[in-house]
Structure 1
C-alpha cells in the first residue's frame, strides 16, 4: 500500500478553507486573491496524482 503524502493533504485542507472563506462576505482584494488561486490549487493537487488508465476504468464487468 502506498503511503500518503501529508503535504498534499495540508494543501487540500488549505484549499477547502479558502473556498469557505471565499464564499463568505469578504470583499475587495482578499476575495480577488482567494479566487485567483484556490481552484488552480485543486487542479494542481489532482494533477499530481493523475495516471493514465486507458479504457480500463470505465469497464463495468
Structure 2
C-alpha cells in the first residue's frame, strides 16, 4: 500500500476540544513545562475563564 498521498482526516467520533495545531503545540509545551496533561491545562483555562466571583466551585 502506498500512503504517500494520504491526508489526515478528522475523526468524526472525537468529542474533545478542537484547536489548531499551533494551539496544541502551545498546550503541549506548557503541559511539559508544568508536568501536566494538555487536557488538564485546558480545564484550568476554562475554569478560570468561566469562574464566578464568590463561587466555591
Q: Under a length normalisation based on structure 1, what TM-score does the superposition of the two structures give?
A: 0.28
Q: Larger % of helix: which?
A: 1
Q: Under a length normalisation based on structure 2, what TM-score does the superposition of the two structures give?
A: 0.30
